[in-house]
Structure 1
Amino acid sequence: MERTTEKQLGKEEFLNFFRKIPKAEIHLHLEAVISRDTVRRFIRRRNPEFDDERAEQEIGRIFTYSDLNGFIKAYLAVQDLYDSPADFNDVFRDLRDYLVRNGIKYAEIFAAPSAFIKKGWDFSEIVSVYMKNVIKIETETGIKVRILIDVSRTFGFENAEKNLQLLLANMTPVIIGIGLGGSETNGPARLFGSVFEKARSRGLVTVAHAGEDVGPESVWDTINILRAARIGHGISSAGDEKLIDELVRRNIPLEVCPTSNVFTRKFVSTMKEHPIRKFFDRGITVTLNSDDPLFFGVELLDEYWNAYAEIGFSLAELRKIAENSFRASFIGDDEKAKFIDAVGKAWDGNPATAR
């Protein structure tokens, strides 16, 4: 749809409208949904002599970075503030609030246990806390959450294999698969093929970050060697026309996180030049996601607004992207149909879509 044929919305009207549209978020890191207040509380617990002002200074120090590897260091620094698996209760409370205020009805989130396992934490206890909180969120809000365990390329193959074995020994319905996150430059996708094959043989779904910090060869390895069902980011694919055609042919969705990509400045430096427009026009199943809300200062509704105001997507196109968020998820076909129908019902007749 041409933008000139539809009513143009101001930011407040747009956000109020899209908050009511059912959405899924399928690229969201659990530890990055933690709120600033929770981080401050953790810092003061670790440093009883700190007042709020000193704690804020420490937050500022942690959240100062300019590239993907710097972000990963900050991510690990925040994880280091956790004292026990019970701290996840606070993080899941922040997650619940995030999901509600963004109108998210279903979420697939990455949980990264490696740093906590290295602290000596019991993985089964971590999983128990995950499960309790996922059930609590659904009971209190009706929002369904499922977890993907990050086997992590940052710590190498042996760590990834260990994470998989821990997961296989602690299977639960709320954990549906594995993901490969971490430093893409230090952990090429091709190294983790056997981990992904073992995971699928046990009924787990598999996804991977690729093309975020490395060229299209990383995406090729991810779809050919890892055989990942979805690609996290994938923006370097824009430079390889054959790869774009292959993603369309195989119907491999992209979990696109525009603000995160602009931050890293590896392939794009402004929102307007983000390749999500090209991917959408070429027929790739694209979804919008926030990636790491606290770390990048962005939430899912913000990303929909950015796509509308900065990249030029029409309302009708954003409706399709909202529907894609469910199509690209790992819920059953019947549930997908119900969610997509709910998008239509929320959309039809709303004054914001009237011409």
Structure 2
Amino acid sequence: MTMTVEGHLRALPKVELHCHVEGAARASTIAELARRNGVALPVEDPEELFEFEDLNQFLDVYGVICRSLVTVDDFRRITYEALEDAVAAGVRYREMFVSPAFVMGFGVPLATVWEGVAQGLADAHADLPVRCRMVLDVDKPSGPAAAMELVAFAAEQDRDVLVGIGADSVERGIDHAAFAPVFAAAADAGLHRTCHAGEDGPAANIRTAIEQLGVERVDHGFRLLDDPELTRRVVDEGIALTSCPLSNVLIARVVPDVGHHPFIEQRRQGVRATLNSDDPGMTRTDVTDDFLAVHRELGADLHELEQVVLDAVDASFAPDDEKVALRSELGAEFARLRDMGSPLVDAAPVGASATGERR
């Protein structure tokens, strides 16, 4: 029986590098935890909690989520459920952000956050066909001093569990260069580095992240093509972007729809842009929805989407031997799905240049 396009893309095994564990929480779980922890929700229906008009409103809702997370088991539960939902979207490997600064601001100790996340990972690895490592996100508005404390904590953790640091939240009004000592300390500790840049801020923030923070990949990078010289450098150095098209429509509102997103143009210029869900619980989507949207609204064909997955393997912070094994596993699964029959298999390639050569 021939698969549908949606069935094929949902079954397609994926690697995801940009997902926030707090933003992946289910609305029903947050409602339950809020009641248990004495947090009043601003709405009666939990599903209405995840409604917002812009990034600032999104961050307000994010605050409600974080106030609802109090105990070790709260963090264990949202971590485990985030990976359950990832598996349903075909994710085989994920690197997931945790942003403790938000909950620490409500009096929750960092040790509580991390113990719960680590337990959730261990339980998921025992029960589910997915591998996940964590990236600890520093909160840019909290400043470099607070970020340095988080890097010191990260440096002491098991590097196979907490693999790197990132930097999230808003870009406007932030001096990204001020975080250079923070990222230098992370590099000295052997931590991988990434940073949210060029989403609600200019391409200059991407340049700062690369040149002054020494990041190995860029989260979002939406504005990259605004700077052709920087784009060429990103291509030449193989710096990956962890793009989140649906999030850019639903949260940041930087484009009206995925059809206006630069993702495919970035890739066709040689940028190693990957597809990710960002905050799937809050947007009520998953990474498969991003694959479907890029196929339907930007014309990405199956070959391109499979290559996006393989590029995400290369851009991951996994050990080299694990990348080799994962690429082999994914390639075999791609072939198996193609043999099952799908409209995607016979579709004409859309990623061709004027000469007919694929980019």
**TM-score using structure 1 length:** 0.90
Residue 10 of structure 2 corresponds to which residue in structure 1? 19
Task: Using the TM superposition, name which of 333-342 and 302-311 deviates more.
Answer: 333-342
In 1, Cα distance between equivalents of 2:340 and 2:208: 44
| 1:79-102 CA distance string (max 9 Å, x none) | 011222321122023112212101
Aligned length: 341
In 1, Cα distance between equivalents of 2:332 and 2:40: 53
CA contact (8 A) 1:22 1:339 kept: no
Residue 109 of structure 2 corresponds to which residue in structure 1? 122
Residue 328 of structure 1 corresponds to which residue in structure 2? 315
In 2, Cα distance between equivalents of 1:354 and 1:171: 42
Residue 339 of structure 1 corresponds to which residue in structure 2? 326
What amino acid does structure 2 have at the position aligned with 1:350?
Answer: M
| 1:4-23 CA distance string (max 9 Å, x none) | xxxxx9xx812321233221
| 1:194-222 CA distance string (max 9 Å, x none) | 00000010100000000001111100101
Residue 282 of structure 1 corresponds to which residue in structure 2? 269
In 1, Cα distance between equivalents of 2:148 and 2:114: 17
Residue 79 of structure 2 corresponds to which residue in structure 1? 92
CA contact (8 A) 2:86 2:286 kept: no
Following superposition, the deviation at residue 33 of structure 1 comes to: 1.1
Residue 43 of structure 1 corresponds to which residue in structure 2? 34
Gap regions ≥5 residues in structure 2: 347-359
Following superposition, the deviation at residue 141 of structure 1 comes to: 1.5
Which of 336, 341, 344 is the aligned partner of 1:351? 341
Gap regions ≥5 residues in structure 1: 1-8
CA contact (8 A) 1:46 1:81 kept: yes
Which of 155, 163, 168 is the aligned partner of 2:150? 163
Instruction: Tell me the C-alpha RMSD between the 2 structures.
Output: 2.2
SS in 2 for 1:30: coil
Following superposition, the deviation at residue 347 of structure 1 comes to: 2.0
Q: Is 2:243 the counterpart of 1:243?
A: no
For residues 186 and 344 of structure 1, do their structure 2 counterparts lie closer, same or farther at Cα, with a shift above 3 Å needed? same
CA contact (8 A) 1:127 1:170 kept: no
Following superposition, the deviation at residue 59 of structure 1 comes to: 5.5
CA contact (8 A) 1:207 1:232 kept: yes
For residues 314 and 177 of structure 1, do their structure 2 counterparts lie closer, same or farther at Cα, with a shift above 3 Å needed? same
CA contact (8 A) 2:71 2:112 kept: no
Following superposition, the deviation at residue 256 of structure 1 comes to: 0.4
| 1:251-305 CA distance string (max 9 Å, x none) | 1000000011123566422211110111110111110001001222221110000
What amino acid does structure 2 have at the position aligned with 1:351?
Answer: G
**TM-score using structure 2 length:** 0.89
Q: Is 2:194 the counterpart of 1:207?
A: yes
In 2, Cα distance between equivalents of 1:268 and 1:142: 34
